[in-house]
C-alpha cells in the first residue's frame, strides 16, 4: 500500500490534508481494505462544529459498522455526496475522489498525527 506523503494520519486510520485553510478528511486504504464491501455511509451536517477525536460519521460494511473520528477540530463545510451514489469510489481512490468531509479547521496543529512513514511503521506493528 502507498500513502500520500503530504497527508497526516491518525491511529484510527483517518487521513487529513490541509490546503488553503481547508482540511480534507478521509479514511486510509488500510481501513477500506479491512472494512470490506461498504453498504452505507453516514455524514455529519454542513456547519456542524466537531472537536478533535469526536465521531463525525459511520461507515457500514458487510463486516461491521465503523465510526470515523476527527483528526482535527473544525466546522464541516462539505461532504462527499458522490460517495453515496458509488461506494466503490472509496475503495478505488480513498485519497482523492474518496474523501469524506471537508472542514474549516479551528487549528491547523497536526503534531498529534503521523506522517506517511510513521503511519506505515504503525501498520507494521499492528500486523505483527
Least confident of 19-23, 33-37, 108-112: 108-112
Band the pLDDT of 128: cuts 50, 70, 90. low
Residue 87 has pLDDT above 90, yes or no: yes
CA angle 9, 60, 91 (to 5 degrees): 55
Domains annotated on the chain, with CATH: 8-126 (2.40.50.100)
Band the pLDDT of 107: cuts 50, 70, 90. confident
- The predicted model scores a pTM of 0.95
Residue 119 has pLDDT above 80, yes or no: yes
Band the pLDDT of 127: cuts 50, 70, 90. confident
Residue 1 has pLDDT above 80, yes or no: no
Q: Contact, 25 vs 13, CB < 8 A? A: no
Can you tell me the distance from the alpha carbon of 122 to that of 20, in angstroms, rounded to the nearest whole number? 29
User: How many CB atoms lie under 10 A from the CB of residue 103?
Assistant: 25
Over residues 23-35, mean pLDDT = 96
On average, the pLDDT of the chain sits at: 95
SS3 7: coil
Residue 17 has pLDDT above 80, yes or no: yes
Amino acid at each position: 500500500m502507498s500513502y500520500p506523503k503530504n497527508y497526516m494520519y491518525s491511529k484510527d486510520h483517518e487521513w487529513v490534508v490541509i490546503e488553503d485553510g481547508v482540511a480534507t478528511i478521509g479514511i486510509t486504504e488500510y481501513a477500506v481494505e479491512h472494512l470490506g464491501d461498504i453498504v452505507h455511509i453516514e455524514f455529519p451536517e454542513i456547519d456542524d462544529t466537531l472537536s478533535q477525536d469526536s465521531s463525525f460519521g459511520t461507515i457500514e460494511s458487510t463486516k461491521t459498522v465503523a465510526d470515523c473520528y476527527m483528526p482535527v477540530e473544525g466546522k464541516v463545510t462539505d461532504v462527499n455526496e458522490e460517495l453515496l451514489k458509488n461506494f466503490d469510489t472509496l475503495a478505488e481512490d480513498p485519497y482523492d475522489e474518496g474523501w469524506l468531509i471537508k472542514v474549516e479547521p479551528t487549528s491547523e496543529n497536526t503534531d498529534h498525527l503521523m506522517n506517511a512513514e510513521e503511519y506505515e511503521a504503525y501498520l507494521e506493528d499492528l500486523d505483527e
